[in-house]
Amino acid sequence: MKRNGFERPYHVLQILSWILLFCFSGIFYFIMIPQLSGAGVIVTSAFYTVFLISAVVSAYLTTKCDPTDKLVKVQLEGTPVEPSEFICTLCKCFVTLGSKHCARCCRCVYKFDHHCKWVNNCIGKENYNEFLWLLFSCIMLTLCGMVTGNYIWISLVVNGPTDEAKDWLKLNWVSKNFLLAGLLVCSLITTAVFFLLSYLMMFHIYLICKGQTTYEFVLEKRKMKIEPKREVTTTLDTTTDLLRTLSNKIVITENNSFEIREEISERMPRARASTPEFNYENV
Ligand SMILES: [Zn+2]
Ligand SMILES: [Zn+2]
């Protein structure tokens, strides 16, 4: 059983998320900020730093949290509990109503939302708020990166590098075109991530308004997909019943109509077709 996201095995996306955060923060502080001048440097740096700390703290809390059902935790510690009608056969424990077993972590999580690969942990009742906090922090970080990045490369194209940027470029031996291409790529990636995260945040706000978890939402969608199929099956059953009734009538009332009876008998199941009333030799 896995207790939290810092326990092995680590997920590749979890490692990638920390690398990306480190790389993009480096690009922001050491490439983007030197292109700015005046109050823009202080305001942008302060904004980014606040949300960078916020993202790191919330990511740590979301990953470190153990969202296992408290009833399961108590039983694993050896404390006897009152028998409940809800039992997880995999955990071999009594569980709280609303718990769901996570196959990846091998434990039951109360108010299970989803298993997040980016933090390598289940998101449930215990760490859902921290997860939303992390999501919000990342949206703010990408917003800052998107606005700053786009502003800088547009300014570089329109006005050319500022005096500060010229010194920086000279100092670091980075050509203007290389800088422009790099900034453009970073801005595009940040913009795409910003819209994806914003969409995810809106989805979670929608779920909160509905009082649902992501897991319950997925279950509801699956159920809705299955139900129209049942309707089609019902329609087909009704058609088959109608056909059977019709074929029975034909056999009874139209004894001379061989062609019609043959067409109908082909559509009938074999068991029914072999009954005396559909056997042509008996007609
Ligand atoms: Zn379980
Ligand atoms: Zn899990």
Separation of 73 CA from ligand 2 center, angstroms? 15
The answer to whether residue 116 is catalytic is: yes
| pLDDT higher than 70, residue 263 | no
Look at the pTM and tell me if it is higher than 0.85. no
Ligand at shortest distance from the CA of 110: 1
pLDDT of residue 166: 65
Residue 270 — very low, low, confident or very high, per pLDDT cuts 50/70/90?
A: very low
Name the average pLDDT for the chain: 80
Active-site pick, 91, 102, 116, 186? 116
**Average pLDDT for 18-45:** 89
| Mean pLDDT value of segment 164-176 | 61
Q: How far is the CA of 105 from the centre of ligand 2 (A)?
A: 4
Top pLDDT among 146 and 255 is at 146
User: Which one of the ligands is nearest to 99 CA?
Assistant: 1
Residue 279 pLDDT: 37
Q: Which ligand is nearest to the CA of 101?
A: 1
Ligand 2 centroid to 16 CA: how many Å? 18
Confidence check: pLDDT of 198 > 60: yes
What distance in angstroms lies between residue 116's CA and the mean position of ligand 2's atoms? 7
The mean per-residue pLDDT over the stretch 160-177 comes to 64
Which residues on adjacent β-strands are paired with residue 110?
A: 99
- Ligand 2 centroid–CA 110 distance in Å is 11
